[in-house]
A and B are shown apart, each in its own frame.
Chain A
Amino acid sequence: MESEALLSVRDLRIAFAGVEAVRGLSFDVRPREVLALVGESGAGKSLTARALLGMVPEDATTSGTVTLLGDTDLAAQRGLHIALVPQDALSALSPVHPVGDQLAAAVRSVARVSRKEARARAVAALDRVGIPDAARKARAYPHEYSGGMRQRAVIAMATVNEPDVLVADEPTTALDEERRDQVLRVLGEQREALGAALVLVTHDMDVVRDHADRVLVMYAGRLTELGPADAVLGRPRAPYTAGLLASLPEHDAPRRRRLPALPGTPPAPGTLPPGCAFAPRCPLAADLCHREEPEPQEVEGHLVACHHWAELPHPAVDLFQEKQHASS
């Protein structure tokens, strides 16, 4: 579709026991961009991230294509051209090997280099992410690292082979605000230094606002909205995006004790309503929405999957003022 794409996803479908969790997703990742993948539990965002790495669970049925640098053999490129920044730093590192050995093993898994060279690259990667006295720290075990240092070490592990794409799956979910900002800063610096693209899976809109170039909003395994982050956040075109943004407490807005809220709850895979999956929670839903699932269409530089996008007011807050006893 676009020659500038580094990574292309076309009609990706991932099903478990006949139930589709990702339901026909197409998007590109461009060189050097930060693309945020946003959605709630069950939206399929983590599964999509895994598909980019060729790491879909074995019991899943996958169709569609994911192409990285013209090649669809993703497992072969993992660690070399594309790498995962895991969510949980502690469980991503082996407790029984020194950190430097683990990084060196990651180097030798994709490059035919001497142990000494692998070792040197490992130390350099630890040094790049700001680990003080990296040569000595490389010989230490994960439990000898502080929590913040461990986060840096897994970022070093993901970047040691200088990949073209980094995939970070909720890298900051379990962290408080200070740690979150620190991890994102280190990740941002590394991405910048390597000239890599970053696919950032998150449900934190503050993170999207501060760090993403573009954002893909997913709902129930499909694309709801895709566009430049400032445009999508500033003027959402899909009712789900608008409702999600309206329901978030804002740092700068005047205090509101009652927040606008979306009624109901995101559907679990296998319990999808007919038509648009968001229709039961959508204030704009009409007959067509309950019959026919909308396809993404181009609207002023966004992709939007909604039959009634043109009727969405801006701001949309009043649409989502909660009725009493919304059962969520």
Chain B
Amino acid sequence: MPLLDVRDLVVRYGAVTAVDQVSFSLEPGETLALNGPSGCGKSSTALAVLQLRRPESGEVHFEGRELTTLPESDLRPLRPRMQPVFQDPYGSLSPRHRIRDAVAEPLKIQGRWNADDGPARVAELLDRVGLDPAYGDRHPHELSGGQCQRAGIARALASDPRLLVLDEPVSALDPSVRAGVLNLLADLQDDLGLGYLFICHDRAVVRHFADRALEMRAGRISSPQPGSS
């Protein structure tokens, strides 16, 4: 069974069809890239997969369950298992919260926090993404872009996800730190068997990082790119 199976997805903004009959599937442990120019519908697809925006039509099957017809109350227990990581590392974290509170928040919301081992869990997550746990005391503006993106990944991991939806996760980073974050994502996938829906406009990055890639153009899948592996 695929981890994610998207069929005939349609997203509209008023009269504009941003995503037009898009279908793809993703296996556990696999990276599928969505590649294409600005405005081609990559990010709208990501939002619809995450059910952060309800699609106009089509189906999103995640771990065998069809999400588009589920009421929000039934979606809520599934949401931790599919986590987003966004492009802007600073915009993804509240500027007022310390890093450790940002990482602890999903645990608290999901009722998985307890005062005894919660802090140790946060330290473990920060260590897992290559951040010295001492950075937990800092605010986002006190971290570099790469460190901040690592913190965002730690926060996503706090929910024990199976799928990460990575929307241009390295596009805002300096070139010399980009490779380190991509390597981290590769390690996490190897260790945890995560599926990645990887949205990226940079073909060279896609070629090295993705198992398969789909090219989007004007809301449609225009061509499957040759499998890179």
Interface contact B130-A261, CB-CB below 8 Å:
no
Interface residue from A40, A322, A325 paired with B179 (Cβ < 8 Å): A322
A118 CB-CB contact with B under 8 Å: no
| Complex: chain B residue closest to A178, CB-CB | B37
Rounded to whole angstroms, the CA-CA distance of A259 and B228 in the bound complex is 15
Which residues in A have their C-beta under 8 angstroms from that of B225?
none
Interface contact B130-A326, CB-CB below 8 Å:
yes
A250 CB-CB contact with B under 8 Å: yes
Interface of A is mostly: loop
Q: A255-B229, A258-B186, A327-B132 are in contact. Are A176 and B180 (CB under 8 A)?
A: no
Rounded to whole angstroms, the CA-CA distance of A5 and B139 in the bound complex is 47
Interface contact B207-A328, CB-CB below 8 Å:
no
Which residues in A have their C-beta under 8 angstroms from that of B205?
249
Q: A177-B201, A265-B147, A327-B131 are in contact. Are A257 and B180 (CB under 8 A)?
A: no
Interface contact A244-B176, CB-CB below 8 Å:
yes
Interface contact B183-A258, CB-CB below 8 Å:
yes
Interface contact A259-B201, CB-CB below 8 Å:
no
Q: A251-B204, A328-B130, A328-B144 are in contact. Are A262 and B209 (CB under 8 A)?
A: no
Rounded to whole angstroms, the CA-CA distance of A178 and B215 in the bound complex is 14
Rounded to whole angstroms, the CA-CA distance of A255 and B182 in the bound complex is 14
Q: A176-B37, A176-B38 are in contact. Are A248 and B175 (CB under 8 A)?
A: yes
Interface contact B203-A322, CB-CB below 8 Å:
no
* Chain B residues bordering chain A, tally (CB within 8 A): 33
Which residues in A have their C-beta under 8 angstroms from that of B180?
261-263, 322, 326, 328
- Write the A39-74 contact mask toward B (1 if CB under 8 angstroms, else 0): 011000000000000000000000000000000000
Interface contact B203-A177, CB-CB below 8 Å:
yes
B208 CB-CB contact with A under 8 Å: yes
- Write the B183-213 contact mask toward A (1 if CB under 8 angstroms, else 0): 1001100000000000001111101110000
Q: A41-B145, A328-B144, A328-B146 are in contact. Are A251 and B203 (CB under 8 A)?
A: yes
Contacts between chains A and B (CB distance < 8 A), count: 99
B174 CB-CB contact with A under 8 Å: yes
Interface contact B204-A265, CB-CB below 8 Å:
no
Rounded to whole angstroms, the CA-CA distance of A58 and B169 in the bound complex is 36
A266 CB-CB contact with B under 8 Å: yes
Interface contact B208-A259, CB-CB below 8 Å:
yes
A260 CB-CB contact with B under 8 Å: yes
Interface contact A259-B145, CB-CB below 8 Å:
no
Interface contact B204-A203, CB-CB below 8 Å:
no
Q: A41-B174, A257-B186, A258-B183 are in contact. Are A177 and B37 (CB under 8 A)?
A: yes
- Write the A232-275 contact mask toward B (1 if CB under 8 angstroms, else 0): 00000000000110011111000111111111011000000000
Rounded to whole angstroms, the CA-CA distance of A263 and B181 in the bound complex is 11
| Complex: chain B residue closest to A205, CB-CB | B175
Interface contact A250-B130, CB-CB below 8 Å:
no
The 4 closest A-B pairs by CB, nearest first: A247-B179, A261-B179, A259-B179, A40-B174
Please report B residues at the A interface, Cβ cutoff 8 Å. Answer: 37-38, 127, 130-132, 144-147, 150, 174-183, 186-187, 201-205, 207-209, 228-229
Question: Could you give 30 example pairs across A and B, Cβ below 8 Å?
Answer: A40-B175, A41-B174, A176-B201, A177-B202, A177-B203, A178-B37, A205-B175, A206-B204, A244-B176, A248-B175, A249-B179, A249-B202, A249-B208, A250-B204, A255-B208, A257-B208, A257-B209, A259-B208, A260-B179, A262-B177, A263-B180, A265-B147, A265-B174, A281-B176, A324-B187, A325-B130, A326-B180, A328-B144, A328-B147, A328-B176
